[in-house]
Structure 1
Amino acid sequence: MASAPRPGGRDTDRVLVPKRLLDALGDDPASAVRSWLDALPGTAERQLAAWELTLERVATPGGRRGLVALVRLADDTPAALKFPVPGPDADRERAALAHWNGWGAARLLRADPDTGALLLERLHGAVSLRSLPEPKALLEAAGTVRRLWVPPPEGHPFASVTGRTEEEREILRVLGAGDWAAQARPLTDEALELRAALPAEPPEEVLLHGAFRQGKVLAGERAPWLAVGPAPLVGERAYDLARLVLDRCEDLAAGPGPAAAARRRVAKLADSLDVDRDRLRGWSLHRAVETGLRHAAAGDRRRAELLLEFAGWL
């Protein structure tokens, strides 16, 4: 049902849940998430009315973990209205954005704990760091992620790197035992060994983005580049930086001397952010293997082979 016209803005469009989100979450018609999806258009319309927002359009194709709509405030300020999939991850995203308060990340303007709605500073969704040449993108990414690494608030709700990777260890064991993963078992074994050793003596405990990569950094007006879509946790910086090491690994694979180029990338990022090279190399290998095995289990063998090859270069 379309909402009524709002003063100062055109009629809003009907809120349609993007197909990508439906495909990612809508398999089980009896699940709580499917019920949330079914109710989402009405929830969004009520939130628009409650916050006096004018809907421009729903962002498509959008992501797989929530709906984002481009809106305008009553004073015509552009903003983004986000509905993350409800649960602990959504609560942690809200807490991290509130704690950063716009420092290195999109500013949280308003939140509704009942609906999970987040009203965010509008960024240029079509312009991420991936639009830049690789050296420039890495430089800007390093400057952005550095701002996010702050002490967590007291009584924070965030999981730890140790806790998250404990779950990943069990996944690695199961996936690595599959017949199709036989060639990757030496890398899987090394990733498991690194998972056991690296969290034993973490050098620091700071708030991390958790899913930081070039595509998660968008162009803004208030600042040139700001991060979005955190999966926040607390732990050491090398873990957060490891996902950035893996970014655009297809570019390295297509160039000369990919193994040496991968090791140079680790060294350059570690040195620019004062992170221990060996720890960054270890977490990068761990995350490459874990992500590669997940892609293989999902049927994306091409991406899986590339990530596992990247792990071998390290």
Structure 2
Amino acid sequence: MSNQAPENLKALEATSAGRNWIDTLPNLVDACVRHWSLDNVGKPFAGSTVSHAFPAFRDGMPVVVKLQFPHEECLFEADALKVWAGAGAVRLFGHLPEYNALLLERAQPGSYLSDDPRTDHLGVVVDLLSRLWVTTNVSFKRLRQQAEDWDTLFKNEHRIAADDQERRVIRHTQGLLGELLSTPMEEVLIHQDLHGQNIVSAQREPWLVIDPKPLVGERAFGLAPIIRSFEFGNTKKSMLYRLDRLSEELGVERERARKWTVVQTLAWGFDPHFKAKHRQIIQWLTVDT
């Protein structure tokens, strides 16, 4: 591959660590091809901004190689896929931790669930979550630990907030987080980035989950990324429908799911490119809900 950064990785060029990683990609790709004896290597997939994934074949079987930019959220992706062992998620065929490289089952045709108008999107999600929410002894990061990190983030962002409205949003969310942390939590494996384009069509199962960002925590939090997934409809009505239906069908306390969605939306919503959309989601979930 060329030393020029793929278009989807351009944002990584803003940091020295990102540029250095992009410079190593040709060598990493070659190392994976040799180690796993791959052939018919194809063009990289577009989409992810922090990983470089490309199709190939291994012993005649279609696979995907995923090279991850080293960051906290990718540390335990392989472990999550091992726990799920193909039940509702793509299979892990190989892992090279020294390269942050995964050899994965290639889901084909691989279209996004949110792009299929003929399928009951939330019905698929309910089926998948009922199987993905499993207990595990693997030492994943806990939701309570993540929440403490977010509380620190909120305090810092409150201090530098540009206006009173932003400070009110942050204070309100801090209050919700305090309420959630004041009660015990169950612990199941959560995909904390399970949106409409991280569920893809396949042949082994109709739909499979990809790109896990694992966390161990309560199921109410596990609904948050789907509730706020604008790929499934970016209106207040569609978002509240997701909140109501998923809570009811999966037996999750609606209020806790709503509060966790607000918390995660704010925590993931300080990037200026998505800030306005995330503030809209928070408003929809805090006014007359």
TM-score (norm 1): 0.83
Query: 1:5 maps to what in 2?
Result: none
- Count of aligned pairs: 288
SS at match of 1:127: coil
Q: Does 1:273 align with 2:243?
A: no
Identical pairs, percent: 25
Deviations 1:233-259 (A, max 9, x none): 111011111111111288353xxxx36
- Measured after TM superposition, the shift of residue 107 of structure 1 is 0.3
Unaligned runs of 5+ in 2: none
CA distance in 2, matches of 1:171, 1:14: 37
**Helix, strand or coil: the match of 1:103?**
coil
Compared CA separation, residues 288 and 135, structure 1 to 2 (3 A): farther
In 2: Cα distance, 1:301 partner to 1:231 partner: 21
**Aligned equivalent of 1:309, options 248, 267, 283:** 283
- Kept in 1, the 8 Å contact 2:109–2:202? The answer is no
* Structure number, greater radius of gyration: 1
Match runs of 1:167-178 below 5 Å: 167-178=149-160
Aligned twin of 1:7: none
Q: Which residue of 1 aligns with 2:183?
A: 201
Residue-by-residue CA offset, 1:181-201 (whole Å, 9 max, x unaligned): 422433322211121121332
Unaligned runs of 5+ in 1: 1-12
- Cα distance 1:191–1:248, how it changes in 2: closer, same or farther (>3 A)? same
How far does the alpha carbon of each residue in 1:280-312 deviate from its partner, in whole angstroms, 9 at most, with x for none? 1111222233333x13xx254542442233233
Structure 1 window deviating more from structure 2 (213-222 vs 302-311): it is 302-311
Deviations 1:140-169 (A, max 9, x none): 11211221111113xx23111111121112
Q: What is the letter of the counterpart of residue 156 of structure 2?
A: V
Tell me, what secondary structure is at the counterpart of 1:229?
Answer: coil
* 2:166 equivalent to 1:189: no
Question: Do the aligned partners of residues 125 and 27 (structure 1) sit closer, same or farther apart at CA in structure 2, a change above 3 Å counting?
Answer: farther
**Aligned match of 1:71:** 56
| Counterparts of 1:44 and 1:164, CA distance in 2 | 32
* 2:217 equivalent among 228, 232, 235: 235
**Which residue is equivalent to 1:37?**
22
8 Å contact from structure 1 (residues 110, 118) kept in 2 = yes
- Any residues of structure 2 matched to 1:1-314 within 5 Å, and which? 17-21=5-9, 23-29=10-16, 31=17, 33-74=18-59, 76-124=60-108, 127-133=111-117, 136-153=120-137, 156-248=138-230, 251-253=233-235, 258=236, 262-292=239-269, 294-295=270-271, 298-313=272-287, 314=289
